[in-house]
Chains A and B, each alone.
Chain A
């Protein structure tokens, strides 16, 4: 294994991989395990990748496939998320507002249709072009663009409802009296 390269890859890509894992799994333990599995696979097989510029996509692809494999094995349900973990996520810097924003976005990603979650998370990590996202998820470019677009709509709708909980609710009309 090329140790300096490995160290560079961990330094550069661990944080985005962790965020991607967390947005997919909504589970703190799994979000720790998935990047570890990606890097362990790299340590074992990464030397076979001749084009080192593909390392980023390689790591994300492995993580995504491991996540799918976990779903199949665990037959997870959407209710398995770790809410207490979301509440304990630390934020960069001292501002609680930042932490709250991060938690809110993670919760929102949990609420949207799961098929939109992976492309949208990769899009918002901003490390991947639409072409790379298509490659990582192994879907056509048009599908990626469509899923990002539809995912954003759901995300925006959820966040709007959260910021104004009365939106979308049926508000009972008071009965008029005296008639």
Chain B
């Protein structure tokens, strides 16, 4: 093995010593011990590599990133199920999707025409769970929604801003545009804020400082209107983060 070939091999030898037992490097390492010029080159190369590696590892990711990922995964993944219901569901889905695509071509996501605001929110939560953007940055979330023409959240309940944001979604529906902003509590409790673009479709909604509290299915809800948008804040009934708690000073 000449020195040029040894250099080509040793160039891929990590400076933290993790490759010390790899037989691929053995012959080149032996030669570097015996040949003074190769030894000098290798030492300089290792010093350079160690410096770059150290510098790269000094970069620290955002502090809340790991918590965000773990919270998101635990709230969106489901247990695995036997295969046969999935196969049955898949075949039904083909039929349903054809029907859906025909129906939704002009209106977007089809929502029940007579459903109340509370029913619309729980319908979206239970049947159309998705997150177009995962981010804890409210600025990014607002920008993402704005880029898609979705209704933007304006004034939020006082304590809701204390929660970490998980991400957001928007839909074009048969009842108008809807946005969702997902929040997560310290114990991974999910809280969903739906914003419907047209509050006039839902007459009688109170202002934000006196929200209407109710339950719908498995959800506790707070409903209000502000600046022409209708809002629904929801959390699971068994959650210790009730929507009401975000309005208490």
Contacts and interface: CB of A to CB of B under 8 A. Distances in A.
Interface of A: 1, 3, 6-7, 10-11, 14-15, 18-19, 22-23, 29, 32-33, 35-36, 39-40, 43-44, 47, 89-93, 98-99, 101-102, 104-106, 121, 123-126, 129-130, 144-146, 148-149, 152, 155-156
Interface in B141-198: none
Nearest to A86: B59
Given A93-B58, A101-B55, A126-B14, 4 more contacts: A43-B77, A101-B54, A129-B22, A148-B11
A149 B28 CA distance: 15
Given A15-B61, A129-B19, A102 B56 contact: yes
Q: Chain B contact residues: over half helix, strand or loop, or mixed?
A: helix
Contacts of A149: 7-8, 11-12
Nearest to B13: A130
B68 A36 contact: yes
Q: Chain A contact residues: over half helix, strand or loop, or mixed?
A: helix
A36 B15 CA distance: 29
Contacts of B244: none
A104 B68 contact: no
Interface in B41-75: 45, 48-49, 51-62, 65-66, 68-70, 72-74
Contact of B58 (A11, A40, A101): A101
B31 interface: no
Given A102-B59, A126-B18, A18 B65 contact: yes
Contacts, number: 119
A36 B72 CA distance: 9
B53 A91 contact: no
A149 B19 CA distance: 17
Nearest to B68: A36
A19 B54 CA distance: 12
B70 A6 contact: yes
Contacts of A130: 12, 24
B80 interface: yes
Contacts of A32: 62, 65, 135
A126 B76 contact: no
A145 B59 contact: no
A91 B77 contact: no
Contact of A14 (B7, B56, B59, B65): B65
B134 interface: yes
B34 to A, nearest CB: 22
Nearest to A146: B8
A33 B134 contact: yes
Please list the 10 inter-chain residue pairs (A to B) with the smallest Cβ-Cβ separation, ordered nearest first. Answer: A101-B55, A18-B61, A43-B73, A98-B58, A105-B55, A102-B58, A130-B12, A149-B11, A102-B59, A1-B77
